[in-house]
A and B are shown apart, each in its own frame.
Chain A
Amino acid sequence: MNDAASALPRTIDDTLALLARADYVAERSLATAVFLSLRMGRPLFLEGEAGVGKTEIAKVLAATLGRRLVRLQCYEGLDVASAVYEWNYSRQMIEIRLAEAEGVKSREGLTEDIFSERFLIRRPLLQALEGDLAGPPVLLIDELDRTDEPFEAYLLEVLSDFQVTIPEIGTIRAEAPPIVVITSNRTREIHDAVKRRCLYHWVDYPNAERELEILRRKAPGAADQLSREVVAFVQRLRSMDLFKLPGVAETIDWTRALTELDRLALDPQVIHDTLGVLLKYQDDIARVQGSEAARILSEVKAEVAAQ
């Protein structure tokens, strides 16, 4: 593991190379935001449509920098007990029973005893504040838009000071701040106060060239002709007025699916059979399937042949 560990990148080009090492093909703009976030110790706030690789960034950073990845998946009603810490009640109860059986301990002593770190269950935010031999961990706060405002407010305290206050124990502070990546699918607006503390980046769909490069790395088994056609097809779909545009994740899935089916190029029948891998809404599928798909395919074939 230590071989993989490396120091923080020194330039934006280094950052690009670092991400590329884990097969993450990033735009230079994204690399800039990542670089700044690493150097300035500020959280990185990534917004974008589903399936453009927001979560992946955190995983890749953890892997290439050799850090531990701490992931906090957000959901509605996420509270301190599941995000930060919780007391181990059953152990506390046993401890109280034992103390009573021995019949010696004073009440104060007992209180101090059962609300000590021994009985503390650490949840992701607290784990992320703990030091690590390899360096501060990567904290991924995934889909922050799924939580509600009270949790956001709590997060403010953690993000600005990297400390957590537990009434029974005191304040726990990170020796070195973790690398924080926050993602949002924008199902609601995140409060400005959170964004203010972060570096913001909108992750867009990649252009054709970059998407092809991603496919070469993520679906190396696919035929070259197939990859080119898939990319051209998906790029065309993204210019349509669909309810949910296919993300990079869908492109990769589709290519892998077509490779599993031993296809070397697209044809109308296989598009018809596998369109559900690419489009996830019935309306969208109904719109594209059939003559529309055939039209796009003929354009795609012409475009790929011209390359």
Chain B
Amino acid sequence: MSGKLAENVMHFARVLRGAGLPVGPDKVIDALRALQVAGIERRDDFYWTLASVFLDKREQFELYDQAFHIFWRDPRMLERVMALFLPKVQGRVDEDQVPPARLAEALMPPPKPPGEHDEETPQEVELDAAFTVSDREVLQQADFETMTNEELAQAKRLIAELRLPIPLVRTRRLARDPHGIRVDMRASLRASLRSGADLIALERRSQTRRHPPLVVLCDISGSMSRYSRMFLHFLHAITNDRDRVYTFVFGTRLTNITRHLRHRDVDVALAHVADAVADWSGGTRIGTSLREFNLRWSRRVLGQNAVVLMITDGLDRDLGRDLGEEMERLHKSCRRLIWLNPLLRYEGFEPRPAGVRAMLPHVDAFLPAHNVASLVDLARALSGPARRAPARHGAPDGALETARGFA
């Protein structure tokens, strides 16, 4: 392989890496080997050869495609990208020709902006010793909405300590257990041969248990804004506590923020989330967002008996249109659907809004979530039975009617 091409492939890999694709040095070597095998006579073969080595998710494809065409064909495009970073504007750049910002950054990383933080980042919190028990109690009962910034900072620390004891579910995997109900023939035989006794003592196994996956759908619309910021802290705490937690936020559209929350440092994680989410504190379209979840994500994250935590006040701009159906579908595809509603704190709360009425028949548990204490209560709710038989309305009739067409 000529040195120039190898070098270019390496540079291309670095561009991809810069754009966020997990392309390690091993992949570069693989790519060069693959090119030797496949040959470089045809452009499309070259394209697909590199794709099969560098990509491992479908989502990466678009970025790859653009990077490929920019890098390997059009050197002028590269200039245009660079022009974006020149201090002076040099003529107008065609709107649709401008490559995505992420790629632009990768091709030419801009200087890091000075560390900017959330306006609420605590200036340096007091020592925990100053934080007496009675303080804690007051704080636990205080509504997030009425807290001062300082109180919020303390609440955040309380929340960071929260753990979510979702009951373990039995898996189909077996492990050794003296009180198990299944006989482990292999271990029994080996043990008997070792001991040399005439009788074979039976060794036993039983099913192991593990957490079911947890999927969180959190409302970040205007009416929820005060709460959702706290919930994000809560979500960060539980995401880092255990595996298989998937987090989505929605206002008018749905955003998957699982990867952003994985960052250990809560402020960095939330800064990433803030960048990723476009519809902070806007309207709510619960039905549309749920539909998107059901279409694009439910089969990918609800597969293994997941528990779904839905955090919203149920105030829907679309007045609950399509919401009932989508909730029903969501409910039927998960192990347990729990709705946390900050509005439940009001004594006289009645499920009058159309959105709330559409959603209520399809949840297994409906709980308040407006202060730290209510989040602690959550733990108790989550340890409940797998599924209470919920009241179901309407659906079977419609299904029957259409099914008759096939008879």
B158 at the interface (CB under 8 A from A): no
A81–B187 CA distance with the chains assembled, in angstroms: 13
The complex places the Cα of A77 from the Cα of B38 at a distance, in Å, of 39
Residue on B with the closest CB to A167? B190
* Proximity string of chain A (79-111) to chain B, C-beta cutoff 8 Å, 1 when within and 0 when not: 101000001010011001000100000010011
Q: Closest Cβ of chain A: how far from B20's Cβ, in Å?
A: 13
Q: Which residue of A lies closest to B61 (CB)?
A: A202
- A145 engages B56 (CB within 8 Å): no
Judging by beta carbons under 8 Å apart, are B300 and A29 in contact? Answer: no
Q: Are B44 and A28 in contact (CB under 8 A)?
A: yes
Q: Does A114 contact B (CB under 8 A)?
A: yes
Tell me, rounded to whole Å, the shortest Cβ–Cβ distance linking A207 to chain B. Answer: 15
- Contact present for B185 and A87 (CB under 8 Å): yes
Contact with B along A30-69 (1 / 0, CB 8 A): 0011011001100001010000000000000000000000
A interface, by DSSP: helix, strand, loop or mixed? helix
**Residue pair B55, A76 in contact (C-beta under 8 Å):** no
**Interchain CB contact under 8 A, A282 and B403:** yes
- B103-111, B139-147, B168-176, B247-255 - interface stretch: B168-176
Q: Is B299 a contact of A76 with CB atoms below 8 Å? A: no
* Cβ-defined contact, A283 with B173, below 8 A: no
A residues in contact with B186, CB < 8 Å? 81, 87, 89
Q: Number of contacts between A and B (CB, 8 Å)?
A: 114
Number of interface residues of B (CB under 8 A): 48
**Residue B113 at the A interface, CB < 8 A?**
no
Of B56, B58, B300, most A-chain CB atoms within 10 Å: B56
Instruction: Tell whether A195 is near chain B: CB-to-CB under 8 Å.
Output: yes
> Residue A237 at the B interface, CB < 8 A?
no
Q: Which residues of B contact A272 (CB under 8 A)?
A: 405
Question: Which of A128-136, A183-191, A297-305 lies at the interface with chain B?
Answer: A183-191
Contacts A92-B189, A188-B304, A199-B53 given; indicate if A276 touches B37 (C-beta within 8 A): no
Instruction: Assess whether B295 is in contact with A36, with CB atoms less than 8 Å apart.
Output: no
Q: Is B45 an interface residue (CB 8 A)?
A: yes
For A75, the chain B residues whose CB sits under 8 A away are: 172
Q: Is the CB of B48 within 8 A of A76?
A: no
A285 interfacial contact with B, CB 8 Å:
yes
Interfacial chain B residues near A273, Cβ < 8 Å: 405-406
- Residue A192 at the chain B interface, CB threshold 8 Å: yes
Q: Is B189 in contact with A87, judged by CB distance below 8 angstroms? A: yes
Nearest-neighbor residue (CB-CB) of B398 within chain A:
A286
Q: B196–A107 contact, CB under 8 A?
A: yes
B193 touches A32 (CB 8 A): no
User: Would you give 27 A-B contacts (Cβ < 8 Å), ordered by A?
Assistant: A28-B45, A32-B45, A32-B49, A33-B48, A36-B34, A36-B38, A39-B37, A39-B38, A40-B33, A40-B34, A76-B172, A77-B173, A79-B174, A87-B189, A111-B193, A185-B299, A187-B300, A187-B303, A195-B56, A198-B56, A200-B52, A200-B57, A202-B55, A241-B295, A273-B405, A282-B399, A289-B402
Shortest beta-carbon contacts, A-B, top 9:
A77-B172, A187-B303, A195-B56, A32-B48, A89-B185, A29-B48, A33-B52, A199-B52, A39-B37
Question: Given known contacts A81-B186, A199-B34, what 19 new A-B pairs fall within 8 Å (CB)?
Answer: A12-B38, A29-B51, A32-B45, A36-B34, A36-B49, A39-B37, A79-B173, A89-B185, A107-B193, A107-B196, A111-B193, A114-B189, A148-B173, A148-B304, A187-B300, A192-B22, A196-B24, A200-B55, A283-B329
